[in-house]
């Protein structure tokens, strides 16, 4: 996400453009492909902006979610992680999916959306209109699979 676009969006909504808000978005943008907890995000932002507080990061994360600039993934261990929203996901109306390693905990994003045919079939047979879905597949990453052989 371009910082200038972000600043413009904040102004359009009548919100202040603060260095802390920009820093949170910048850290998420610099860590594309990573799935950060709020606490991890806070530690990274604090390195850039030492005066920021954890509460400010929490409020900024909520703002970014409300603006559809970031995505949230909830894992079965109760942890909530965030990542920058990809433009192609926003255009398609669907989020990408995640592969979660049961051994090392690594999270890998993948974009293949093979559920479109299923969604079409559901709509045709039941009249139910699927507007979104989230897929999390659990297993072992390549490195952990090789360890188990």
Question: CA Rg, the chain, in Å?
Answer: 18
Q: What distance, in Å, lies between the first and last C-alpha atoms of the chain?
A: 41
Query: Residues marked as binding for Fe cation?
Result: 95, 116, 133
CB 62 within 8 A of CB 15: no
Number of other CB atoms surrounding residue 69 within 10 Å = 18
Please state the residue numbers annotated as binding site for Zn(2+).
101, 104, 141, 144
Closest among 141, 71, 130 to 108, alpha carbons compared: 141
Binding annotation: 95, 101, 104, 116, 133, 141, 144
């Amino acid at each position: 996400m371009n910082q200038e676009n972000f600043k413009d969006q904040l102004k359009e909504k009548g919100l202040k453009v603060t260095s802390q808000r920009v820093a949170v978005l910048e850290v998420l943008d610099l860590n594309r492909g990573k799935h950060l907890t709020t606490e991890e995000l806070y530690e990274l932002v604090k390195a850039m902006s030492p005066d920021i507080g954890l509460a400010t990061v929490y409020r900024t994360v909520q703002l970014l979610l409300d603006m559809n600039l970031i995505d949230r993934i909830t894992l079965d261990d109760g942890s909530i992680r965030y990542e920058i929203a990809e433009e192609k996901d926003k255009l398609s109306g669907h989020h990408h999916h995640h592969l979660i390693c049961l051994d090392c905990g690594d999270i890998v994003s993948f974009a293949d959306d093979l559920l479109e045919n299923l969604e079409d079939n559901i709509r045709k047979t039941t009249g139910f209109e699927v507007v979104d879905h989230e897929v999390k597949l659990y297993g072992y990453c390549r490195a952990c699979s090789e360890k188990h052989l």
